[in-house]
Amino acid sequence: MRYLPLNDTDRSDMLARVGVKSVDELFADIPEDVRMKGLLDLPKRASEMEVERKLSAMASKNTAAGSVPFFVGAGAYKHHVPATVDHLIQRSEFLTSYTPYQPEITQGTLQYLFEFQTQVARLTAMDVANASMYDGSTGTGEAVLMAHRVTKRNKAVLSGGLHPQYREVVEGLSNMAGDRVVSLPADPTGTEDILSQIDDETSCVVVQSPSFYGQMIDLKPIAEKAHQHKALLIAVFTEVVSLGLIEPAGTQGADIVVGEGQSIGNGLNFGGPYVGLFATRQKYVRQMPGRLCGETVDAEGKRGFVLTLSTREQHIRRDKATSNICTNSGLCCLAFTIHMSLLGQAGLTKLARINHGNAVKLKKLLAGVHGVEVLNSAYFNEFTIALPKVAEDVVEQLAERGILAGLPVSRLEPGNKDLANLLVVASTEVNTDEDRAAFVDALKEVLA
């Protein structure tokens, strides 16, 4: 087997040195009746070529986003990632290193985590950011639990503009933990009355902006009302590129900002691995979940970095920990950090403008299609349209024409007639004028 350095001579010599006759003696603690005598009922070893053949065959059955005009967003976005990023994250020293528990020989990882935390804090305009969560949805679940710890209350209010699957993650976790969740109905236009839901029992209000439907939400009045009732505002985003162009939640009064960082440095990967961004105010840092990297000095006074405030974490505090999280998204953070340092403020701002500009162009084209109504007035790079037909059917028909057109809201929110014709559409820098024209032409055909 190509990955195993021991040969049979090694094995028999080593068994002799260990003092056993056969390797099975080393497994003697496994009760005899459950110790396997034969092999697992699975195929035997395969050459590199054979594995490649089988997996390539599976991959080729899928339509890659880059091979068609592509307009699906709704929490994961198709962006161009510079070649440098993928090269660097495959450096052995990054790829095959463990969590930096021995800081003297993992300064590489620790320094990029420190750069990552700084980038995220600046993007969100918050005081501190952690070294990542698994993704935006699980980060949102953790943010709600954190708000419960901070406020010592357990009622969360979720906006109807929150990504439905984020909502489900929060609801699942809260229900299991015995907490209360008030989820408002789907709100494509950002016109819900969330303020009246906030009371003295509320621990937090969770609002996504731009919303799942693309609508920009004014967070300031929500923050104000929440703070009047000593509740926290958790601001959520799924498109981190938006922060290059729109006012961050940090300056709008959010207490925790959590979101998905996939767009920067990370591919679509059918939903994972992604990277959850998590930032908060300095005063709440000791209630934060996840790993934190901090600056310090070594015995010779040289600057260095270490994992810190680990007394919050499970390996020290066990059942008193702020979260059970251990492994997070190390390599995805690295991809994020490299891509973001390549962009810099100048590049990110421009990238965000191009995204917004492409969405504006697409919106105009779609608004011109007979029977199509655009629901959002203020948006970043995605928005929702109402079709004269069931959106799921339209999307299938467009897919048959080689266009991947967006997300029918009913896929995530089935059974709600009001949402059946809604389609969430995204346009990023990868879309060309030809892509947009192809989409609009095909849509006209399908709706005709």
Partner 1 sequence: MSMNTQGRPTAAGDVGETFRPKTFTGNRGLDMEEPLIFEFGSLETTGVDLDEDESAEFELGGFKRTAEIGLAGLAEPEAMRHYVRLSRNNYAIDSGLYPLGSCTMKHNPRLNEKMARLPGFADIHPLQPVSSVPGALDLIDELAHWLMVSTNTSAVAMSPKAGAHGELCGMMAIKAAHTAAGRDPKIVLVPESAHGTNPATAALLGYKVVSIEAKDDGTVDLDALKKTIAEHEGNIAGIMLTNPNTCGLFERDVKQIADLIHEADAYFYCDGANFNAIVGKARPGDLGVDAMHINLHKTFSTPHGGGGPGSGPVVLSERLAPFAPLPFIRKTDKGLELVETEAATKDGEQPFGRMTAFHGQMGMYVRALSYMMSHGSDGLRQASEDAVLNANYVRVGLQDLMSLPFGERPCMHEVLFDDSFLKDTGVTTLDFAKAMIDEGYHPMTMYFPLVVHGAMLIEPTESESRAALDLFVATMRDLVMSAKRGETERFSGAPYLAPRRRLDETGAARKPVLKWTEPAPAEVTPAAAE
Residues 238-257 that bind partner 1 (CB under 8 A): 243-248, 251
Structure tokens, 316: 């020290």
CB of 356 to partner 1, least distance (A): 7
CB of 426 to partner 1, least distance (A): 10
Task: Let me know: does 157 contact 233? Beta carbons within 8 Å.
Answer: no
Site for partner 1 in 72-91 (CB under 8 A): 72, 74-76, 78, 82, 84, 86, 88-91
Instruction: Report the distance separating Cα 433 and Cα 430, nearest Å.
Output: 10
Instruction: Report the distance separating Cα 428 and Cα 356, nearest Å.
Output: 8
Which residues, other chains included, contact 380 with Cβ-Cβ below 8 Å and sequence gap of 6+?
210, 214, 216, 239, 241, 242, 245, 246, 352, 355, 356, 359
Rank residues 151 and 242 by Cβ distance to partner 1 and give the closer one. 242
Rank residues 165 and 229 by Cβ distance to partner 1 and give the closer one. 165
CB of 444 to partner 1, least distance (A): 20
Tell me how far CA of residue 332 lies from CA of 70, 104, 214, in angstroms: 23, 22, 25
Rank residues 94 and 229 by Cβ distance to partner 1 and give the closer one. 94
Binding string, 377-416, against partner 1, x = CB under 8 A? xxxx--------------xx--x----x--x---xx-xx-
Ramachandran quadrant class, 432 (left: phi over 0; alpha: psi -120 to 50; beta: rest): beta
Rank residues 230 and 359 by Cβ distance to partner 1 and give the closer one. 359
Structure tokens, 81: 């990632």
Site for partner 1 in 186-215 (CB under 8 A): none
CB of 229 to partner 1, least distance (A): 25
CB of 233 to partner 1, least distance (A): 16
Query: What is the total count of residues that contact partner 1 (CB under 8 A)?
Result: 207
368 binds partner 1 (CB under 8 A): no
Task: Let me know: does 124 contact 279? Beta carbons within 8 Å.
Answer: yes
When binding is defined by CB under 8 A, the residue of 182, 228, 230, 311 that contacts partner 1 is 311
Single out the residue of 379, 375, 373 nearest to residue 356, CA to CA: 379
Classify 327 as helix, strand or coil: coil
418 binds partner 1 (CB under 8 A): no
When binding is defined by CB under 8 A, the residue of 183, 227, 287, 309 that contacts partner 1 is 309
302 binds partner 1 (CB under 8 A): yes
CB of 51 to partner 1, least distance (A): 5
Beta-strand ranges (E) seen in 310-440 are 373-374, 382-386, 407-408, 422-426
30 binds partner 1 (CB under 8 A): yes
Classify 283 as helix, strand or coil: helix
Rank residues 63 and 199 by Cβ distance to partner 1 and give the closer one. 63
Binding string, 103-142, against partner 1, x = CB under 8 A? xxxxxxx-xx-xx-xxx-xxx-x--xx-xx-xxxxx----
CB of 224 to partner 1, least distance (A): 17
CB of 102 to partner 1, least distance (A): 6
CB of 290 to partner 1, least distance (A): 10
CB of 9 to partner 1, least distance (A): 9
**DSSP assigned state of 67:** G
Rank residues 406 and 440 by Cβ distance to partner 1 and give the closer one. 406
Site for partner 1 in 35-64 (CB under 8 A): 35-36, 39-46, 48, 50-52, 54-64
Angle formed at CA 177 by CA 173 and CA 182, multiple of 5 degrees: 65
What does the CA dihedral 23, 29, 32, 34 come to, rounded to 10 degrees? -100
Classify 180 as helix, strand or coil: strand
Instruction: Report the distance separating Cα 175 and Cα 94, nearest Å.
Output: 38
Classify 311 as helix, strand or coil: helix
Q: What are phi and psi of 378, to 5 degrees?
A: -125, 130
Rank residues 65 and 438 by Cβ distance to partner 1 and give the closer one. 65
